Amino acid sequence: MTVLCCASVSLARVEYIRHSQGYYEAKLTFRVEAPVEQWSSRFQFESSIQNFTVRTPNTQVFNSSNGITYNFGSVGYFPIAAGEWAIEFSVSYEDTGSMPQLQYATFNGKDLDTSYVPPPTTTMRPTKPPPSGGDYHYDEVIAISLEFYEAQRSGKLPSNNRIWWRGDSFLDDGQLNGVDLSGGYTDAADLVKFGFALVSTTTVLNWGLVDFLQGYNSANQTGYAEDAVKWALDFLIKAHPTSHEFYGQVADADIDHAWWGRPEDWDQGLRQSWKITRDKPGSELAAEGAAAFASGYLVFKNRNSSYAQQLLRHAKELYEFADEYRGTYTDAIPAGGFYDSWSGYGDELGWAASWLYRATNESKYLQDVNRHWAEFNLSRRADKFSWDDKKAGLQVLMYKLTKEEKYLTPATQFCDYMKNSQQRTPKGLVFIQEWGSLRHAANIAFICLNLAELGVKSAEYREFAKEQIHYALGDGGRSYVVGYGENPPQRPRHRASSCPHRPSPCNRQNGLYNPGPNYFTLYGALVGGPGLQDDYVDDRDDYVKNEVAIDYNAGFQGALAALQKLKINEQLP
């Protein structure tokens, strides 16, 4: 038998095909220069692994040592023609935060260069299975929720990026309009930057950071949380180049939605952007932007006062713009059909004034809250808390700031109604609507945890909120948080994580319609959630129940910080 050598060194490469907690599948591809009749190979990993399987047929592992080195090869006659050839393998390992890479490989005695793909620098959080009795690890879920935001980053990624399968994208956003609109967050499965959802997400995240900071601190996540809101605020600063210009959407949603692939691989040309101006105002967008900036001021005022002052200036300008130039933002920005403003702009005007009042303590803003309160009848009981409807948040915040009964009454009505009268699924999830059912429940939990924090029906509202959040973490029969707990979703609708590792191509067929799990685990993402009968299928094609979005995780993360704070203070019901 002749073994004809050999493999060239330069073309060897490792592709990671699939990766989830403690497991990956990969492929080592290289060039065989001349035909061989049998082969053997030796792999060495960076650290000890638990199980090594060669997926290439008619092969066998001969021996191994220390869980690090594996000798394997063909069983008997196994002709390979000259040309490109690949060894496919899978690895199981103890998930302690880093993934043991293939470090060194040989083929028929010759070294192969495995360095084609730079080693991922993942600092992925290991997730322990939740202990029985529903004592969920809020700190871990906060941590991975922040990783989800990191996976949504658009623009030039910093060197401390933790999502190793993401890279720079859309660096030329804004170029068609002569401004730099790179950065910010992509919205959901798609790659559009929807300004209204982004500003709402930012305000809600800031609120959780300001009022449940102790929860973030005890989870050791404050730095990451500040980075997450700063990533949004830095983009919003660029989106507000002059006092009466505020960009509220980057990318045509129809063009975007017709495409599937990695953000890094976008090949459909420069993306259009839209703004509100004096001629085409948009009070919801400008006011919620003001709320995002004013709450951002509160996050940063003791950390970076010059940055905080900059945020406050944007907040004041946007608020004046929103109040003076009234109009509904979808008249200026083509977000209709995606993020319509059903509740009008009155709630955002009141909400923005309340955050400015909190930030500045200027009586002008208190008067303005009351002016909007009267003009827009904001004393009504809200029927949700969402990117669109901020009434419940306004009522709770104003009660906190003034302790006045007029704000307390509708806030209490809201939590009482949600707890006692709102329809629920058989397993107890408060059900507002099928589209993103869990984010609605999480937002309600967040509002009622804030009210409980002010001493209002504390035990009752905390119990209610905990039950809603626990539904998502596992009490509903499974976990609805990707990468966490029992039977989590494996096929969230999300472009980047559905794609195989580069340089493998990605498209609708092998990304969206891949019947297997997403190639990368989108840790921390809360999926849309079940229908009214607790019905749910882990199907990537279901954008109602299985999409993810920046707004879904915002109230959810704030509620987790609140629960974590209660846990460490031994106040958890």
Ligand X SMILES: *[C@@H]1O[C@H](CO)[C@@H](O)[C@H](O)[C@H]1NC(C)=O
Catalytic positions are 538, 547
Residues forming a β-bridge with 72: 41, 61
Nearest alpha carbon to residue 41 among 85, 93, 96, 92: 85
Indicate whether 280 belongs to the interface with ligand X (CB under 6 A).
no
Task: Considering the complex, state which of residue 151 and residue 366 has its C-beta at the smaller distance from ligand X.
Answer: 366
Indicate whether 304 belongs to the interface with ligand X (CB under 6 A).
yes
**CB atoms inside a 10 Å sphere around CB 131:** 9
Q: Which residues contact 321 (CB under 8 A, 6 or more apart)?
A: 243, 244, 246, 276, 281, 286
**CB atoms inside a 10 Å sphere around CB 221:** 26
Phi and psi at residue 270, to the nearest 5° = -65, 150
Over the Cα atoms of the chain, what is R_g? Answer: 26
Task: Considering the complex, state which of residue 240 and residue 493 has its C-beta at the smaller distance from ligand X.
Answer: 240
Smallest gap from residue 83 Cβ to ligand X (A):
46
Indicate whether 121 belongs to the interface with ligand X (CB under 6 A).
no
Q: Which of residues 369-388 bind ligand X (CB under 6 A)?
A: 377, 380
Indicate whether 361 belongs to the interface with ligand X (CB under 6 A).
yes
Smallest gap from residue 224 Cβ to ligand X (A):
7
**Binding window for ligand X (CB under 6 A); candidates: 59-67, 303-311, 316-324, 341-349:** 303-311
**Binding window for ligand X (CB under 6 A); candidates: 70-78, 299-307, 386-394, 535-543:** 299-307
What count of Cα atoms within 13 Å lies in the side-chain half-sphere of residue 206?
Answer: 31
Indicate whether 363 belongs to the interface with ligand X (CB under 6 A).
yes
Phi and psi at residue 308, to the nearest 5° = -60, -40
Smallest gap from residue 90 Cβ to ligand X (A):
30
Is residue 105 within 8 Å of residue 14, measured between CB atoms?
Answer: no
Q: Say if residue 199 is exposed, middle or buried (CB neighbours under 10 Å; 0-12, 13-18, 19+).
A: buried
| Choice from 220, 268, 367, 571 touching ligand X (CB under 6 A) | 220
Task: Considering the complex, state which of residue 292 and residue 332 has its C-beta at the smaller distance from ligand X.
Answer: 292
CA 235: distance to chain centroid? 17
- Which amino acid is present at 525? A
Residues forming a β-bridge with 32: 7, 83
Chain position carrying tokens 């497991």: 23
Indicate whether 309 belongs to the interface with ligand X (CB under 6 A).
no
**Binding window for ligand X (CB under 6 A); candidates: 302-310, 417-425, 426-434, 522-530:** 302-310
| Choice from 136, 216, 231, 307 touching ligand X (CB under 6 A) | 307
Task: Considering the complex, state which of residue 365 and residue 520 has its C-beta at the smaller distance from ligand X.
Answer: 365
Smallest gap from residue 226 Cβ to ligand X (A):
10
Is residue 369 within 8 Å of residue 353, measured between CB atoms?
Answer: yes
Applying CB under 6 A, the site for ligand X has a residue count of 8
Smallest gap from residue 158 Cβ to ligand X (A):
12
Q: What CA dihedral angle connects 419, 197, 159 and 273, to 10 degrees?
A: 180
Smallest gap from residue 364 Cβ to ligand X (A):
10
Smallest gap from residue 256 Cβ to ligand X (A):
29
H-type alpha helices, 186-334: 195-211, 213-218, 222-239, 253-257, 283-300, 305-324
Smallest gap from residue 139 Cβ to ligand X (A):
9
- Written as one string, the DSSP assignment of 124-157 is PPP-PPPPTTS---HHHHHHHHHHHHHHTB-BSP
**Binding window for ligand X (CB under 6 A); candidates: 74-82, 255-263, 304-312, 429-437:** 304-312
Task: Considering the complex, state which of residue 409 and residue 510 has its C-beta at the smaller distance from ligand X.
Answer: 409
Task: Considering the complex, state which of residue 353 and residue 548 has its C-beta at the smaller distance from ligand X.
Answer: 353
Q: What CA dihedral angle connects 44, 47, 48 and 51, to 10 degrees?
A: -60
Task: Considering the complex, state which of residue 377 and residue 507 has its C-beta at the smaller distance from ligand X.
Answer: 377
Task: Considering the complex, state which of residue 223 and residue 336 has its C-beta at the smaller distance from ligand X.
Answer: 223
In the complex, which residues of this chain contact ligand X (CB under 6 A)? 220, 304, 306-307, 361, 363, 377, 380
